[in-house]
Structure 1
Amino acid sequence: MLLNRSSLIEMMNGTGEPEVRLERSLDLYMERFGQLEPQIRAFVPEADAELRLGREKALLLHTYSEADSKPALFGVPVAVKDLLHVEGLPTRAGSQLPADLLTGPEGSLVLRLRFLGALIAGKTVTEEFAYNGPIATRNPHNTAHTPGGSSAGSAAAVAAGICPLAVGTQTLRSVIAPASFCGVVGFKPSYGRVPLDGVLLLSPSFDTIGFFTQDLPGMEAAAALLVPDWEAIPAISARKPVLGVPAGVYMELMSPEVKAVFIAQIGILEQLGYQVRHVDMPWKDEFIYGDAMIRFIEGELAREHEHWFAEHREEYGLPVQEAILRGRQITDEELEQYRGQQMILRRDLKELMVQEGIDLWVSPAQGGTAPKVEENNTGWAGMAAIWGFAGSPSISLPAATIGSMPLGFQCIGTYGEDETLLAWARELWPHIAYNSAEA
């Protein structure tokens, strides 16, 4: 195991003179990067990383040398998925297309990180355009296994303790699956809650920026700083949340081992006084099994890449080429139907939660633990995709291991009520969490 503790809260609360704090955090980052990156390969190779980080350090010291207080993320190294534009770094998106074609100005999230004093640790590895393609990144728990899908590098960097915070994106499962596989906390806010400017998009109707930390307190701190208009909830109430478990085919989208672990987790929570309700869901089972969500995504992918694809088709990997060609066959009318279904499901889920008295949906974060690299599988969409289709906020909490590999416990909240989701997750955390850095 290539795991080290890396607490965002501890780094944010560091003491000492600004230059000493910066030296300490940068030295720790470079030390762990040097030790672990050759085996994990979480980051996109960068020719002059030390020089760039040195410039960022100097700028921070110059900016805040006379300030009485330092910004919240002062000197904290933050890894950023290589779909987000970062000044001074090319955007490659796991692709062979020319970087100068893809690279653009920084968006509001990266600008916010800089405003808060973060050091941009580097770009993390993603599958090609977050869709599909080979990745070099390995799981820090066991390098024979995948770290997950397109936010693989971000999750692996946090799991290994190279940095305490990383940014990813999710379309179908690309925050929740890597978080589950790597034994870290992965939070996907409600669709549209974090602006997507400065991000190369896969599917604008799905894409959502998300975050990775090693523990829930760190994620709560990150959300409060990085999710616009965040209003933290100190405590929900004296009662425990009512948990909803989807009935039907959804709960069959997992291995027997995962199902046994989840049933045991639910049993423990019931013994602790939690109410659990098994509920028929407002979606058709065949929608989860079928290809509707993939068609939706591929249709939008084709439109996002229309101009680039015309001139650079042969530079795309075969899986993305084929997806774009399929997407071209999907009509605008079909895409509009899917967008309408998104709104209907979002409304129906909210009404169902009220009707059944449910505060939080829960399920395994993935249908299995991290597959071996040679299996060429970076995760399963089933447990996460339907919630992303509805735009719901979700979080994966490290909660179990099967055969020494992590498995996340997924909590899903009401669209737009991200603060409530994290507050209820805080209530559950002591009963289900394990420390992946010490597992």
Structure 2
Amino acid sequence: MNRLAPSLLATLLANRNDEAAARATLLDAQARADALEPWLRAFVHRPDRYDFGDARARPLAGVPIGVKDLADTADMPTRYGSPAYDGHRPERDARIVAMIRALGGTVFGKTATTEFAWRGPAATVNPWNRAHTPGGSSSGSAAAVAAGIVPLAIGTQTVGSIIRPAAYCGVVGYKPSYRAVPTEGVHPLAASLDHVGFFARSVEDVAIAHALFVEGAPQAVESEAAWRDHFPRGTSALTLGVVRTPFWDELIAPHQRSSFDASLRKLSGGGARIVELDYGADLPQMREATLTILAVEAYRAIGDVAARAPALMSEHMRLLLAEGEAMPLARYQQALLLQAQVRAQSAALMQGCNALVTLPASGEAPHGHADTGDARFCAPWSLMGAPAVNVPSGWSDANLPLGFQIVGAFGDDAKLLRVAARIEGMLKFEGRVVTD
């Protein structure tokens, strides 16, 4: 079996000032992708060859990074998951892609996305069981990291498209606060909700991505000591607020309920104070507002393409666009008003807790590939634009991963990542290796 991609931190430190090591990292990723891609189908495009920069010059030199095929790449096709864009080659890179290249990273390939990041599924399968979905819409990015092909991949989330596939594939997913990472050059689904974020195999690795792409602090990863100073982990007791949504009793699978409660016991045993919150916001109303904004803005972003090529749109997309076209303007404006209100109140809604904890999904990845899963457990935090992290927390009886979602206040991303790193350490998830 080809070697598993090491952690992002290990890759950065090994490659620094060592061009041979950086080249070896890329070759290992190619070999692993060649072995797994015939059945995994995480990528829709990989280049025949890679340009390779000076390992001494930039922090991400030699690091292979998967980029969701919603983000423009001038040197690779960009299809947005839709046959309406077969053969499309953008004129310039998306901002996130330009940032990767400026930092010396290698765009290893374009990862599969659902149709325009909505529900029309990609061809990717779950790396732990090929009969199950990897989730969506960032299907390929989650699967590529879970399979150990790349240490970091770019995803997007409008409702649940980073957190949910991260949970289904057993990796860390990090959705930063709204617009913390630029969205220019990323095809919109709903501009008021769209986020760019990251997949990796540890909270530390997504925190490195945060330092590089959000804080713009490449010096933070010049050495392990520099990184430890930049990303200190507190020692004071955590207070974690449990948010059990109104959908809890109706939708949560028994194995997910048991895993979540077991995680709370571990956290309590590790010294965290667990508080059951009566959350001070109307979560069903927030979900409805999310779906209203989504429908209207999807129609604005994709309606013209659908009108030109209706036969190339899935039934999922046609229904969404029809809903958006028919949506009363007053309802959309009310949804935007609610969004502004909950974002402004996000710190107060934490009720003095260091973070909120809840579920990323109703259970393990659903069987089959026609459905990418239910996003309602992510919708409130996407509407709010609050930062969220999924950490793997266990395995179902069917040997599929289960997740644990951690949410912070809007704009308080660095604090959330420090809390999530401590939670990850207390949960002690037992990782596994995807094989042929």
Q: How high is the TM-score relative to the length of structure 2?
A: 0.91
SS at match of 1:79: strand
Partner of 2:48: 50
AA matched with 2:14: G
Partner of 1:364: 359
Partner of 2:156: 169
- The count of corresponding residues between Structure 1 and Structure 2 is 422
| Preserved CA contact (<8 Å) 1:42 1:124 | yes
Partner of 2:168: 181
Partner of 2:224: none
1:104 to 1:250, Cα distance in 2 relative to 1, 3 A: farther
User: 383, 387, 391: which one pairs with 1:393?
Assistant: 387
**Structure 1 CA distance, aligned partners of 2:245 and 2:122?**
34
Q: CA deviation at 1:278?
A: 1.2
Match status 1:378 vs 2:376: no
**Structure 2 CA distance, aligned partners of 1:27 and 1:163?**
11
After TM superposition, the structure 1 = structure 2 runs for residues 26-425 of structure 1, keeping only pairs within 5 Å, are 26-46=26-46, 49-51=47-49, 53=50, 56-57=51-52, 60=53, 64=54, 69-99=56-86, 103-228=90-215, 234-235=231-232, 237-247=234-244, 249-252=246-249, 253-287=251-285, 291-353=288-350, 356-373=351-368, 376-403=370-397, 404-425=399-420
Comparing 226-235 and 17-26, the one that deviates more = 226-235
SS at match of 1:169: strand
AA matched with 2:385: G
CA offset digits 1:287-311 (Å, max 9, x no partner)? 26x6442232011100112332332
| Preserved CA contact (<8 Å) 1:346 1:391 | yes
SS at match of 1:146: coil
**Structure 1 CA distance, aligned partners of 2:324 and 2:88?**
22
**Structure 2 CA distance, aligned partners of 1:77 and 1:170?**
22
Q: CA deviation at 1:94?
A: 1.0
Q: CA deviation at 1:247?
A: 4.3
Partner of 1:25: 25
| Preserved CA contact (<8 Å) 2:66 2:152 | yes
SS at match of 2:246: helix
AA matched with 2:23: E
Q: CA deviation at 1:327?
A: 0.8
1:159 to 1:336, Cα distance in 2 relative to 1, 3 A: same
Comparing 261-270 and 330-339, the one that deviates more = 330-339
1:285 to 1:18, Cα distance in 2 relative to 1, 3 A: closer
**Structure 2 CA distance, aligned partners of 1:16 and 1:133?**
41
Partner of 2:14: 14
1:266 to 1:352, Cα distance in 2 relative to 1, 3 A: same
1:303 to 1:385, Cα distance in 2 relative to 1, 3 A: same
Comparing 180-189 and 134-143, the one that deviates more = 134-143
| Preserved CA contact (<8 Å) 2:266 2:427 | no
SS at match of 1:249: coil
| Preserved CA contact (<8 Å) 2:175 2:195 | yes
1:339 to 1:285, Cα distance in 2 relative to 1, 3 A: closer
| Preserved CA contact (<8 Å) 1:3 1:160 | no
CA offset digits 1:96-151 (Å, max 9, x no partner)? 11346673521221111001111111101011000111321011111111111110
1:347 to 1:17, Cα distance in 2 relative to 1, 3 A: closer
1:4 to 1:379, Cα distance in 2 relative to 1, 3 A: farther
**Structure 2 CA distance, aligned partners of 1:72 and 1:16?**
7
Comparing 265-274 and 102-111, the one that deviates more = 102-111
1:316 to 1:418, Cα distance in 2 relative to 1, 3 A: same
SS at match of 1:392: coil
Q: CA deviation at 1:269?
A: 1.6
| Preserved CA contact (<8 Å) 2:239 2:273 | yes
Among the aligned pairs, what percent are the same residue? 33
1:74 to 1:311, Cα distance in 2 relative to 1, 3 A: same
| Preserved CA contact (<8 Å) 2:394 2:430 | no
Q: CA deviation at 1:2?
A: 10
**Structure 2 CA distance, aligned partners of 1:373 and 1:15?**
40
SS at match of 2:59: coil
Comparing 193-202 and 305-314, the one that deviates more = 305-314
CA offset digits 1:341-396 (Å, max 9, x no partner)? 0111123332132xx3211000122110111125x321221211111111110000
Q: CA deviation at 1:438?
A: 4.4
Comparing 247-256 and 22-31, the one that deviates more = 247-256
AA matched with 1:428: I
1:131 to 1:258, Cα distance in 2 relative to 1, 3 A: same
Comparing 328-337 and 31-40, the one that deviates more = 328-337
AA matched with 1:313: P
| Preserved CA contact (<8 Å) 1:301 1:327 | yes
| Preserved CA contact (<8 Å) 2:167 2:403 | yes
Q: CA deviation at 1:15?
A: 4.8
Report the RMSD for the aligned CA atoms in angstroms.
2.3
**Structure 1 CA distance, aligned partners of 2:21 and 2:3?**
23
Comparing 104-113 and 173-182, the one that deviates more = 104-113
Which segments of 5 or more consecutive residues in structure 1 lack a partner in the other structure?
none
SS at match of 1:437: coil
